[in-house]
Amino acid sequence: MGALNEIGLYVLQTLGSLYIALIVIRFLLQLARADFYNPVSQFLVKATNPLLLPLRKIIPGLFGLDMACVVLAITLHWLLIEACAAVVGLGFLNPFHVLTWSIVGLLGLTLSIYKWGLFISIILGWIAPHNPNPAVLLLNQLLAPMMRPFRRLVPDLGGFDISPIFAFLVLGILGILLSSLAYEVGIGGAIASLVVGV
């Protein structure tokens, strides 16, 4: 692969994965019923609305889930994988395989968002426990539904919250299961480098 192809692949993957991550974070914040008027939420809305609003006219919500957001993330990931495959010379890949890879990759991306969010939240809890920054408040709102079951099950040890340890443990197990699933659906070698979140 030549230098121009590498540059093209780098730009495609960087911008594509960033935009897909914004869509996934928006979906997760909607699930968590996070503050819509938070400045970070407003940034996400403005960044994703141009592609999301037209889809919402066609794709209705389902059980309170923003299905247009889900379809947009899968479609963009599918297009990104196909575009990256073309840049590296793999040609047009089987669309059904790419659809499966897109879904598995998005599950992996979701796990990564929660892992990194939890890690950042723990660090901020040590160095700035009552930080009023809008991004920190939104992060706590994003993580709250995931952490609720762990906080119910794990007792508070004299003001020391060890529930994140168990949350990391479960996220790690889910990551191992997802890696196994990725292998089963053929994500490996050159293909793995094209799939966001794996």
Structure confidence at residue 1 (pLDDT): 64
Report how far residue 111's alpha carbon sits from residue 134's, in angstroms, rounded to the nearest whole number. Answer: 23
Structure confidence at residue 61 (pLDDT): 82
Q: Which residues of the chain have pLDDT under 50?
A: none
Structure tokens at 61: 């919500």
Report how far residue 198's alpha carbon sits from residue 27's, in angstroms, rounded to the nearest whole number. Answer: 19
Structure confidence at residue 173 (pLDDT): 96
169: exposed, middle or buried (C-beta count within 10 Å: 0-12, 13-18, 19+)? Answer: exposed
Q: Which domain holds residue 33?
A: 3-194
Report how far residue 78's alpha carbon sits from residue 34's, in angstroms, rounded to the nearest whole number. Answer: 28
- Report how many domains make up the chain: 1
Q: What is the pTM of this model?
A: 0.91
Structure confidence at residue 130 (pLDDT): 76
